[in-house]
C-alpha cells in the first residue's frame, strides 16, 4: 500500500479539510499571491495548510479514499489508518518530529505542544496549477541628466533657457485674447452696468444676441407722486386760467415751455377727460439699409406693433423687422452704412435706450 501522506495529498486538491482519525485534521484556506523579500520572488496564490488536533472524529473521507484506491473494505482501511497514526505518535515521542511527505512537518516544542509547518513546495490550489514563482531582477537606471549636469553644469543651465522662453511666450499669447475678451465684456455688454437685460448669451462674442422678452403690463399701475421743490426735475408751468400744466424731464429750468408735455387739469377731483399734447421730437430722416438698431423684441406681435407706433410718434422710421426664435424684433431705424449705424446706436444708448443693439440683415 501507499504511504498515508499520498492519500491525504490527493484529497487536499478537492477538499479544504482532511481528518486523520485519532490524530487531527489538516485544514486548508485560500491565500493570495505574495512576495518573499528573502529570496526576492513572487509566489502565486496557494492553499495555506494548518493543523487542528481537536478534529479527531472519523468523517469517513480518508478511509473511503483508501478503500477505493486499494480496493479494500471500509474496516480494513480504518485499521490501516490506525496503524499509521500509531507510527506517527511513536516517532513524535522518540524524536519529537515527524514528516508527512508532500504535506508538512510536525514538531513538539519545549512545552510538548504539537506544531505544524507546511511544505510550500506543493500548491494544492487548482486555480494556480502550472504557475511557478517569479524571480525579481533589480534594474540599474543611469540618469542621463545627472551625467550631463555633472560634466558641464553651464550646458544644463543654458538648455533650460529656451524652454522657459517658450513657456513665457505661450502664456503671453494666451493673455492677449483673454485681455481683449475682458475689454469687450466691459464695453459691449451690460454685465458691468448691472442691467436687468443681461443674459448668458451676451457672454458669447460670436453668437447673435437674443433680446429679453417684453410682456404687456396687466393689473393696476402704481402712480408715483413727485414732491414739489425748487430745482425738481418735474417743473410746473402755470399757463393762466386754462388749467394746463407743463411737465419737463430736463434738469434745467423750463422757461419757454419747449420740450415739455402739457396736461390739461380738470377742476374736479375726478376729471372726466384728460387731454395730453406732446411736443414731438423732430423726425429723423427716413432711410433704408442692412444695419438696424433694435429697440426690443416681443413674443406677442401686437406688443411689437405697439412699440413701432410709439417710436413713429417720436419721429423714428420704425418697423417690425422679423421674427426670430419666437420673438418679434422691432427696428427703430435702419442705415445703409455701419459707421452711421454705430454712431446712431451710441446716441440712442446714451439718451434713450441703453439696451438697444445693432443687427445686420
* DSSP letter string, 241-296: GG-EEEEE--SS--SS-TTEEEEEPPSSSS-S---EEE-PPPPPPP---SEEEEEE
Residues 6 or more apart in contact with residue 230 via CB below 8 angstroms:
none
Residue 36 — φ and ψ, nearest 5°? -95, 110
Q: What is the pTM of this model?
A: 0.39
Confidence (pLDDT) at 187: 77
When comparing pLDDT for 218 and 66, which is higher? 66
Q: Mean per-residue pLDDT for 133-153?
A: 67
Q: Which CATH architecture has domain 282-360?
A: 2-Layer Sandwich (3.30)
Neighbours of 30 (CB within 10 A): 13
pLDDT score of 231 more than 80: no
Q: Spell out where the chain has E strands.
A: 17-20, 24-31, 34-36, 41-43, 46-52, 97-100, 104-108, 114-118, 134-135, 213-214, 244-248, 260-264, 276-278, 291-298, 319-324, 327-335, 357-360
Write down the pLDDT at residue 330: 92
Write the pLDDT tens digit of every residue in 239-265: 444 444 455 444 444 444 444 454 444
262 or 8: whose pLDDT is higher? 8
- Please write the tens of the pLDDT for every residue from 162-206: 788 888 888 888 889 888 888 877 777 766 666 555 566 667 777
pLDDT at 28: 93
Query: What is the residue whose three cell numbers read 429697440?
Result: 295
Average pLDDT over residues 76-101: 91
Residue range 309-326, pLDDT digits in tens: 999 998 889 999 899 888
| Short-list 14, 18, 17, CA closest to 5 | 18
In whole angstroms, give the CA distance from residue 252 to residue 30.
Answer: 98
Amino acid at each position: 500500500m501507499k504511504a498515508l501522506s499520498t492519500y491525504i495529498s490527493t484529497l487536499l486538491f478537492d477538499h479544504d479539510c482532511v481528518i486523520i482519525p485519532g490524530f487531527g485534521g489538516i485544514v486548508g484556506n485560500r491565500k493570495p499571491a505574495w512576495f518573499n523579500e528573502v529570496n526576492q520572488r513572487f509566489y502565486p496564490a496557494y492553499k495555506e495548510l494548518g493543523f487542528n488536533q481537536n478534529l479527531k472524529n472519523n468523517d469517513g473521507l480518508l478511509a473511503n479514499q483508501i478503500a477505493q484506491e486499494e480496493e479494500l473494505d471500509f474496516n480494513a482501511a480504518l485499521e490501516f489508518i490506525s496503524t499509521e497514526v500509531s507510527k506517527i505518535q511513536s516517532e513524535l515521542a522518540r524524536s519529537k518530529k515527524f514528516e508527512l511527505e508532500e504535506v508538512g512537518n510536525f514538531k513538539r516544542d519545549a512545552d510538548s505542544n504539537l506544531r505544524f509547518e507546511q511544505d510550500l513546495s506543493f500548491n494544492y490550489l487548482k486555480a494556480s496549477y502550472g504557475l511557478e514563482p517569479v524571480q525579481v531582477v533589480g534594474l540599474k537606471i543611469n540618469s542621463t541628466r545627472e551625467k550631463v549636469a555633472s560634466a558641464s553644469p553651464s550646458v544644463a543651465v543654458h538648455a533650460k533657457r529656451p524652454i522657459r522662453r517658450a513657456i513665457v511666450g505661450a502664456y503671453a499669447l494666451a493673455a492677449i485674447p483673454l485681455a481683449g475678451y475682458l475689454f469687450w465684456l466691459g464695453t459691449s455688454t451690460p454685465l458691468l452696468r448691472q442691467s436687468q437685460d443681461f443674459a448668458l448669451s451676451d457672454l458669447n462674442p460670436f453668437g447673435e444676441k437674443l433680446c429679453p422678452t417684453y410682456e404687456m403690463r396687466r393689473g393696476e399701475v402704481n402712480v408715483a407722486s413727485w414732491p414739489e421743490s425748487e430745482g425738481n426735475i418735474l417743473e410746473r408751468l402755470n399757463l393762466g386760467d386754462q388749467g394746463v400744466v407743463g411737465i419737463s424731464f430736463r434738469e434745467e429750468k423750463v422757461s419757454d415751455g419747449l420740450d415739455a408735455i402739457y396736461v390739461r387739469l380738470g377742476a374736479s377731483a375726478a376729471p372726466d377727460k384728460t387731454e395730453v399734447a406732446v411736443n414731438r421730437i423732430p423726425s429723423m430722416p427716413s432711410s433704408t439699409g442692412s444695419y438696424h438698431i433694435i429697440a426690443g423684441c416681443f413674443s406677442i406681435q401686437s406688443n411689437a406693433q405697439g412699440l413701432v407706433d410709439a417710436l413713429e410718434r417720436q419721429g423714428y422710421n420704425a418697423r417690425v423687422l422679423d421674427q426670430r426664435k419666437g420673438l418679434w424684433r422691432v427696428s427703430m431705424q435702419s442705415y445703409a452704412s455701419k459707421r452711421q449705424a454705430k454712431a446712431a446706436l451710441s446716441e440712442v444708448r446714451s439718451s434713450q435706450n441703453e439696451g438697444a443693439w445693432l443687427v445686420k440683415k
